[in-house]
Structure 1
Amino acid sequence: MDTSPTARADRAARTPEADEAARATARLRAAGVHGVALTFVDNAGLTRVKAVPPARLPEAVRAGVGMSPCFDTYLVDDSMVTGPHLGGPDGDLRLVPDLERLTVLAAQPGWAWAPVDRREQDGTRYAGCQRGFARRMARRALEEHGIELRMGFETEWIVTRGPLPPPGAEPEYPTAGPAYGMARLVETSAYLRAVLEALAAQGVEVLQAHPEYARGQFEVSVAPADPVGAADLAVLVRETVRAVSLRHGLTPAFGPVVDPSGVGSGGHLHLSLWRDGRALCGGGDGPFGMSRECEGFLAGVLEELPALLALGVPSPAGYLRLRPSRWAGAYRCWGLENREAALRFVAGAAGAPEAANAELKCVDGSANPYLLVGGVIAAGLAGLGRGPERPRLPEPVAGDPAHRGGQPRLPASLAESLRHFERSRTLRAALGGPLADAIAAVRAGEIALFDGATPVEIAAATCGRY
């Protein structure tokens, strides 16, 4: 009997999924791939991985790859806490790759990548799977309201030459040009070209790339996708930037701040609502042309925003960035094209309602993107679910809300946002008790971890971890 990996995979191919995995294995071999990185993002916002050779891909699709559930309560420094339901050394899960997202990595020769769903040993849904949570919320929007969401993340990062410096030391940046300046693009043109080439080779549609405000800071925005796809893309884009950076002798930092006295890096989330191919964020009779359903959805998000920060700004470092008059969205308000508001509405060009969208500006790159998109959908659906009594948006804010009296400040610390999260019936019901409790345990753990640390120490301990 032929006992080669190929023969074993052929014998196991008794389902359409296994047939698809076998075909994928053949494609990976033809592309010179020797390892497939299977990733998920934990509740601290770190991307964790197990890898298999292509020959093991059919078996991974059929039965999953084992990994402990303890990572649900890992902190940013790889220490571990425990929650009432999750955490500790017991148990095992199965990582099941999503072949629809399987991608040959252009900046990591010989490697491919796929995100995973985490399942119980018997193949049933795992209550702590963040990707599964995002999928459930997107499905709920469609089934209960006929609404499809399109979402997209902006990826911001800072690069330095060589390793990130110890606390208090000045990083060596590869650029000296001004913010958004062509000089900075020229200085790093080979590096940015390599980022764009790698993303294009992986089928990622880039909308724009540019130097950002802070020294050594850049941004890439990609085309919108379904909520789970948008979160998958956020992971893929970040790891592609990381790989390209390292090949150019640069170290990328995706954390909220490198220099706590300066401007940090966000992870802004854009979203739009659609039904039967019709845009609901434009062409309506609500504020600035949005439909009343769009208004109700955004009002639900704005109402829940203090609790949502526990998902979108999950690290103490994020509150060093979330400060007034920094374009970080530190106030719980919204406005038309207002980059100081936490929720910025983009009406789009005249006569193009399909371009209208909303941007959540207060969130950053320490967030688990699956938790964030799922939480935003849950909050928006809570607004839609009130029917005729659904909330309305307050008056929009023009200008810097720090200079407009009466605007409510968003939580200024993780401890404050955690209190809102723990009181949120909307988010707890959507997440389910085990996942909500694990998130709360991780947030409490990081509050304790950085208790008494200076802003410089917090920034140094976190900026290079995500």
Structure 2
Amino acid sequence: MELHERDERRAAAEAVLGELAEAGVVGVVLPWVDTSGITRVKSVPLARLPGAAQWGVGMSPVFDGFLVDDSIVAGSYAGSAIGDLRLHPDLSRLTVLAGQPGWAWAPVDRYTQDGEPHVQCSRSLLRRLVGGYADEGLTLKAAVEVEWALGVGSLPEGADPDAFVPALAGPAYGMTRHVEVSDYARDLLQALADQGVAVDQFHPEYAAGQLEVSVAAQDPVAAADTALLVRHTITAVSMEHGLRASFSPKVTADGVGNGGHVHLSVWRDGQNLMSGGPGTFGLTAEGEAFTAGLLEHLPGLLAIGAPSVASYLRLVPSHWAGAFAVWGLENREAAVRFVTGPSGHRQAAANVEVKCVDGAANPYLLMAGLLAAGRAGMRAGATLPDPVGIDPGSLSEEGRREAGITALPASLEEAVRAFESDTELTGVFGTELATTIVEVRRGEIALFAGTSPEGVTRAVRWRY
């Protein structure tokens, strides 16, 4: 980072101090997401924002080696107490937090002391990949669906403090559940609107106490930022209402988990490549190649998008989790669901939804992995197999073999092995980051070795 850029960052921060002070802001939250998918933060008093923008805020590189329980993997390139990094807030996403009065929020990029992007900064990686698409005349639109389970905040004396007691009793997708949550949802939607988040839908979901919010598509970096901001806001508004939100991939061992579905579309010269073409369901050749790249690399991508031992308690057949490496039109049991949108609106709406990923994922790492896979497909001119129009779980194993349908990894270890053997993904991520991902994943595997599903879900329930 050049000195003139540092000066420009400081000037930009100084220019907003008065507006922030007038809004009652006294401090700025600076979040990043670690390898395990946990959002970590530092914060600065408002008066320190210009200095933070110019020179960054110090933080240890040890966080790259953190596990979900805050233990640390002493890895090849992460987990050391030696060294320092700098957190530089992205002021283009500076947001006054409506759900946390007195605070603003700005996601950070991580730099070395010498002003170079940290080789394991997932946000910087994602930005570089988006730039690579732009160099080829392509833009992308992306969005992350956020699901969470809402639990009561106060439990009876003597109860397990980590227990989950649903705060809502109404049926899945039910009107009564929506009424139960009416005041809470009003405050949440208002907070998101005040923060500039464009919400497309809010509704009760399937599992006990489960809700979902869908937001408008943006470029992939902004979409990952927004996913982070939405979860921050949900957590804050939930606490204001005496409630507790869990984004864990599995909240109860016998329940349906929280997905983190990603929607993606690729565009060239203002035209959506997922629509208007001669291919299946209107795909263009480039749109098909992008989608085929996603499908081909899904096994390795799961080490990024389903990164917890708990993820594989969610990723089971016939639970709308996408447990098989197939694609299909509006097929919610396919790992890649193709969405055309309504007739007359398809050029704007057509996209692919990756369903096999969940709320434990670092959204920057996940988005980067998806873009890397899609780019590999486009460069190879990849083509898609026949779409699947049924629930693959309804077939016998022999029936799936005859149809060429394969299951996705059924454990984190399987996903890690697939990631290690995927030279496209590991090459894009680089040796240091790819190695850390593998070491952190295997650290979690060791952490939960021999633990029952009930024990795993309890341990991670309130971590995300």
Mark yes or no: TM-score above 0.5.
yes
| 1:197-223 deviations in Å (ceiling 9; x for gaps) | 100010100000000001100000000
More moved, 278-287 vs 109-118 = 278-287
Paired letter, 2:374? G
* 2:363 equivalent in structure 1: 369
Written as runs of structure 1 = structure 2, the 5 A alignment for 1:65-144 is: 65-143=57-135
Written as runs of structure 1 = structure 2, the 5 A alignment for 1:344-423 is: 344-352=337-345, 353-386=347-380, 390-404=381-395, 405-406=399-400, 407-423=405-421
3-state DSSP of counterpart to 1:122: coil
CA–CA separation in structure 2 for the residues paired with 1:161 and 1:16: 46
Written as runs of structure 1 = structure 2, the 5 A alignment for 1:37-56 is: 37-56=29-48
More moved, 53-62 vs 95-104 = 53-62
* 1:23 equivalent in structure 2: 15
Normalised to the residue count of structure 2, the TM-score between the two structures is 0.95
* 1:150 equivalent in structure 2: 141
The Cα shift of 1:13 comes to 11
More moved, 295-304 vs 81-90 = 81-90
* 1:263 equivalent in structure 2: 256
The Cα shift of 1:396 comes to 0.5
* 1:202 equivalent in structure 2: 195
CA–CA separation in structure 2 for the residues paired with 1:83 and 1:14: 32
The sequence identity of aligned pairs, in percent, is 55
CA–CA separation in structure 1 for the residues paired with 2:6 and 2:37: 37
The Cα shift of 1:14 comes to 8.4
* 2:150 equivalent in structure 1: 159
Q: 2:450 aligns with which of 427, 449, 452?
A: 452
Q: 2:437 aligns with which of 414, 436, 439?
A: 439
3-state DSSP of counterpart to 2:58: strand
Paired letter, 2:73? V
CA–CA separation in structure 2 for the residues paired with 1:266 and 1:118: 27
The Cα shift of 1:86 comes to 2.2
More moved, 273-282 vs 166-175 = 166-175
Change (3 A) 1:170 1:16: closer
Paired letter, 1:209? F
| 1:310-343 deviations in Å (ceiling 9; x for gaps) | 0000000000000000000000000000000000
The Cα shift of 1:402 comes to 1.0
* 2:52 equivalent in structure 1: 60
CA–CA separation in structure 1 for the residues paired with 2:265 and 2:115: 33
Change (3 A) 1:163 1:417: farther
Contact 2:142-2:223 within 8 A present in 1 as well: yes
3-state DSSP of counterpart to 1:233: helix
The Cα shift of 1:428 comes to 0.9
| 1:88-137 deviations in Å (ceiling 9; x for gaps) | 11000000000000000001010000000000001112101010111111
Paired letter, 1:427? L
| 1:403-451 deviations in Å (ceiling 9; x for gaps) | 2422210000000000001111011111111111111110010000000
Written as runs of structure 1 = structure 2, the 5 A alignment for 1:221-300 is: 221-300=214-293
More moved, 331-340 vs 169-178 = 169-178
| 1:204-256 deviations in Å (ceiling 9; x for gaps) | 00000000001100000000111110000000000100000000010101001
Structure 2 alignment gaps of length 5 or more: none
3-state DSSP of counterpart to 1:95: strand
| 1:352-382 deviations in Å (ceiling 9; x for gaps) | 2221000000000000000000000000101
Change (3 A) 1:210 1:395: same
CA–CA separation in structure 2 for the residues paired with 1:14 and 1:203: 27
The Cα shift of 1:63 comes to 0.5
Contact 2:337-2:352 within 8 A present in 1 as well: yes
The Cα shift of 1:260 comes to 1.5
* 1:213 equivalent in structure 2: 206
Change (3 A) 1:13 1:231: closer
CA–CA separation in structure 1 for the residues paired with 2:339 and 2:5: 48
**How many equivalent residue pairs?**
451
Please say if 1:427 is aligned against 2:419. Answer: no
CA–CA separation in structure 1 for the residues paired with 2:115 and 2:155: 41
RMSD: 1.6
3-state DSSP of counterpart to 2:417: helix
Contact 2:420-2:438 within 8 A present in 1 as well: yes
Contact 2:6-2:53 within 8 A present in 1 as well: no
Contact 2:150-2:168 within 8 A present in 1 as well: no
3-state DSSP of counterpart to 2:164: coil
CA–CA separation in structure 2 for the residues paired with 1:346 and 1:27: 42
CA–CA separation in structure 1 for the residues paired with 2:385 and 2:267: 23
Contact 2:164-2:252 within 8 A present in 1 as well: no
Paired letter, 1:392? T
Contact 1:155-1:365 within 8 A present in 2 as well: yes
Paired letter, 1:403? S
The Cα shift of 1:168 comes to 11
The Cα shift of 1:175 comes to 1.6
Normalised to the residue count of structure 1, the TM-score between the two structures is 0.94
The Cα shift of 1:57 comes to 0.8
CA–CA separation in structure 2 for the residues paired with 1:248 and 1:308: 37
3-state DSSP of counterpart to 1:15: helix
More moved, 165-174 vs 70-79 = 165-174
Written as runs of structure 1 = structure 2, the 5 A alignment for 1:167-186 is: 171-186=164-179
The Cα shift of 1:172 comes to 2.4
